[in-house]
Amino acid sequence: MPNIRYQEFAIIFADIVDSTRMYESLGDSRAKQLITELENDISRVVKETGGHVVEIIGDEVMSCYDSPDAAAAGACRIQECVDAYSERCGMPVSARLGLHYGPAIVEEGRMYGDSVNVAARMASIAQARQIITTEQVVQNLSDEHRRLVRRFDKVKIKGKQQRMVIYDLLWRMDVTFMHTSPVTQNQLAKTLVLTYAGKIHRMPPTQGSMRIGRDPCNELVVSTTTASRTHAILEFSRGKYVLSDISTNGTYVTTQNQQSLYLRRETIPLLGSGKIGLGEPVSTDNRHVISYDLQESGP
């Protein structure tokens, strides 16, 4: 019989930012060396702060703690560790962290359950050098650590009926992050219009989110082998339509001023109009480009 446990854990995902560009600019061997060294440093910090490394996949370290306080302290130490490593190796290396507290199944050293998915989603929302956490964590923190959190946003999570309140865990008081302006009536009047394969898909602010990928369960199905099953998520958040890449091959965006962007587990707001490529750059040869345009909603 396999050893199966079911209990509450504080789960951290630490995602190294821009690892793809490191491989492109430094070459496979050097980039792999740097990423492996940093993951080893993160693993050491997890153990030193009372946590357990569950697994390391690519550029991501998943760990768990018995208590939210220990995990919050560990997350702060991880960011300090990444900063120290960046200075030591002379490279601009950073990480983004997601932290959640809830029940999970542990079987043969691996962890399963909704709490794991939520923690991973928090990491995908975080910016470089940021720790994003949930209300379940904040409610179980001591006063000492609760003073370090501030409310950040309300987001829609796949499988959840209600939007989740999320928080920014301030590991350094001199680290600040840009927040979008409050929602205005003019912004609320905008509808995001997506065009793919001759069909128009409208996403009003009230829809909340839209999943894009090759799986038929997505709201926008893109039939290309370069797309992941669920490749990206569009959300209306704080007055803006935000595109989040959660794919294997990344997402390419060309803006209305012809700026080309590449997203890999990153998030950007969609402004004006432009084009999106799933796992393949936007070009005349790409038959699966999605066009987007912010338009005034009808009366």
pLDDT for 232-259, tens place per residue?
Answer: 999 887 678 899 888 888 999 999 888 8
Which residues belong to CATH 3.30.70.1230 in the chain?
4-169
Tell me if residue 220 falls in helix, strand or coil.
Answer: strand
Out of 3.40.50.920, 3.30.70.1230, 3.50.50.60, 3.40.1080.10, the CATH code matching 4-169 is 3.30.70.1230
Strands 273-278 and 251-255 turn out to be: antiparallel
Dmax (CA) for the chain in angstroms is 62
Residues of the chain with pLDDT > 70, as a percent, come to 92
pLDDT for 260-297, tens place per residue?
Answer: 899 988 888 998 999 999 999 999 999 999 999 999 86
57 has which bridge partners?
60
40: Cβ contacts below 8 Å, ≥ 6 apart: none
Predicted local confidence at residue 124, as pLDDT: 87
CB atoms closer than 10 angstroms to residue 17? 22
pLDDT for 42-101, tens place per residue?
Answer: 999 999 999 999 999 888 999 999 999 999 999 999 999 999 998 888 878 889 999 999
Which residues belong to CATH 2.60.200.20 in the chain?
185-296
Tell me if residue 41 falls in helix, strand or coil.
Answer: helix
76: Cβ contacts below 8 Å, ≥ 6 apart: 131, 148, 169, 171
Amino acid making up residue 173: M
- Range 185-296 classified under CATH 1.10.1050.10: no
